[in-house]
Chains A and B, each alone.
Chain A
């Protein structure tokens, strides 16, 4: 899906707000993700210290990324695997397609991989004449619906049970009774996909981490589909961003302690697997070929800039789960592989500023995302940097730029700003309610005021109330 620009984002957001199914799903997700994460961290007193540890490891690794990527390559090859480097997503797709062509793949299964979504890999493989089956239940659902993921951990979280059942009815053609339970639907997907697992020639997964010291890739799942995708076919292909590498298996536990808790409130997922190379002699299962595709796609350019911190991301999804905007509009409105706060930071860097300009405006800078980010990425600051950069790129809008410049000058003059805002507040408090309603309908302001109301109440500005507060922080007057 192309990142939405300008009016498109706005229109998509308005539709999303009116979509009752989506709103119900988002409400449920809030309870699911936010509460569970909070509970899990509350009973884990060393969470903050673990964050310190993981951040230190990640910062060190990023400062020496070339060294660790070389080490990862060396050890992967030593274990019998192959490493491919791709500067662009087109290149990465080509590499995967070439492998599939060479082994004459007929059936390809996929475990969930956000990098493969970034590559639009499925589309490229279908274009090259291959059939691809997503096996992660959420990814399978959206594959049937011909949609993109709306969340990086729960791709089909925007779908209701009824919508899933309808999709299954349409595609499975099994004539099953209506109003099946969630258990029945999961069981249905299990039997349908089992054939795909067993018959696949090529399995493609992502990797949560790459371990340089052992040439291993780490896969964190709950369903077990990733492992079936990796173990049963003759060829295992792993798609991963270059920032995924960590120095040694000694470093892995810190990240695991943060990941599951931040993502789903679990201590650990049902399956955490370290894959090291292809089948060994005597093995009865496992792939003959083990390929790791390292994707750059703009990540190396982030090193050495203030955006380097964003490469610490472990893709837990906590930022979007807690985002005031995401939790109201869902992931599709962003029109990018990565939605929510991390998406707002990564998308201009991976896809350019022309795409998704409006996305970076869809942020209130409240900072909740940064507060819950296990890797302490300063997301709001980075979004603000994008806004500054985008303003320089934006053609026209001279009126907006001038207006902002004037306001900025005014706001840096407390001597003028304060009496002016005091006057403004007084003026508004004197308006009868009807007149304020008239203001809401002023031409030119209608877009601005569609979702905002003129402020009411109180005869004093925040600044004056704050200045007059009691030592304990209470306001001296109401």
Chain B
């Protein structure tokens, strides 16, 4: 008998099968505004810049590059970022829009949504937004629109259903830069994923 059959037989015999499927209502915590989300991210040493216009995007990126003494940013193939290529060229910020490779230091992507409860960004893998972009570079820059926030993780599922988004290959919930406390229980940032997470919170036009 295959192990599969063995295990399922054992369970069919032993499981009580007595509880009706009654999903308990979710115990949702109280959730504040987007400022609370930004605060949570800053607590774990992500940086958040509030952006009101495309010019400020360039300023934020330029400042970030200077801070990390880097000169180039790679933009993921997401069409939302395409307008930035021309802008960055004008401002002499070196950039390329393509899938990132393992040598790229600074990579920029766009988040699908933000979860206020946990101070998180949600990114869905796709040909334009490869999951590797969130983990390979030294520094990750993520752009998120103000209108893309949901209060809780439960409401993320609601958003995906409403927008007809199936489960992607990788659904990443990212709540800060990479870290570890494996040496003497002391927190150190930049384990294997990005050392720095820089977020551009783009405010909706009035």
Contact = CB atoms under 8 A, between A and B. Distances in A.
A225 B192 contact: yes
B23 interface: yes
A227 B131 contact: yes
A85 B7 contact: yes
A57 B12 contact: no
A324 interface: no
Nearest to B99: A284
Nearest to A223: B191
Interface string A263-295: 010011111111111111011111000000010
Contacts of A294: 7
A141 B14 contact: no
Given A216-B167, A275-B170, A283-B127, A49 B14 contact: no
Interface string A63-91: 11111011000000001000001110001
Contacts of A124: none
**Contact residues of A: prevailing secondary structure:** helix
A91 B172 CA distance: 32
A222 to B, nearest CB: 5
A60 B23 CA distance: 9
B107 to A, nearest CB: 13
A60 B19 contact: yes
Contacts of B126: 280, 282-283
Interface stretch (A247-255, A332-340, A428-436): A247-255
Contacts of A296: 3, 7, 10
Interface stretch (B56-64, B79-87, B141-149, B152-160): B152-160
A268 B190 contact: no
A301 B175 CA distance: 38
B21 A46 contact: no
B133 to A, nearest CB: 9
A344 interface: no
Interface in B87-120: 99, 102, 118-120
Interface stretch (A153-161, A405-413, A450-458): A153-161
B188 interface: yes
A222 B178 contact: yes
Nearest to B140: A224
Given A138-B182, A216-B167, A225-B192, A57 B3 contact: no
A273 B173 contact: yes
Contact of B15 (A62, A187, A270): A62
Contact of A46 (B15, B27, B185): B27
Contacts of B53: none
Nearest to B23: A250
A185 B22 CA distance: 49
B182 A53 contact: no
Contacts of B24: 52-53, 56-57
Nearest to A305: B14
A257 B180 CA distance: 20
Contacts of B54: none
A198 B102 contact: yes
Nearest to A87: B3
Contacts of A70: 8
A159 B181 CA distance: 12
Residue in B16, B23, B180 whose Cβ sees the most chain A Cβ within 10 Å: B180
Contacts of B188: 182-183, 186
A231 B132 CA distance: 7
A13 interface: no
B184 interface: yes
Contacts of A251: 23
B169 A63 contact: no
A232 interface: yes
Given A59-B19, A157-B185, A253-B153, A279 B193 contact: no
B146 to A, nearest CB: 21
Contacts of A183: 188, 190
Contacts of A57: 23-24
Interface stretch (A25-33, A349-357, A461-469): A25-33
A189 B136 CA distance: 15
B183 interface: yes
Contacts of A32: 181, 185
11 contacts: A63-B15, A182-B186, A186-B190, A189-B191, A190-B190, A227-B135, A250-B157, A269-B175, A271-B174, A276-B169, A286-B131
Interface of B: 2-4, 6-8, 10-12, 14-19, 21-29, 40, 44, 99, 102, 118-120, 125-127, 130-132, 134-136, 152-154, 157, 167-186, 188, 190-194
Interface of A: 25, 28-29, 31-33, 44-46, 49-50, 52-53, 56-57, 59-60, 62-67, 69-70, 79, 85-87, 91, 135-138, 141, 154-157, 159-161, 164, 182-183, 185-187, 189-190, 193-194, 197-198, 214, 216, 222-225, 227-228, 230-232, 242, 247, 249-254, 256-257, 264, 267-280, 282-286, 294, 296, 300-301, 303-304
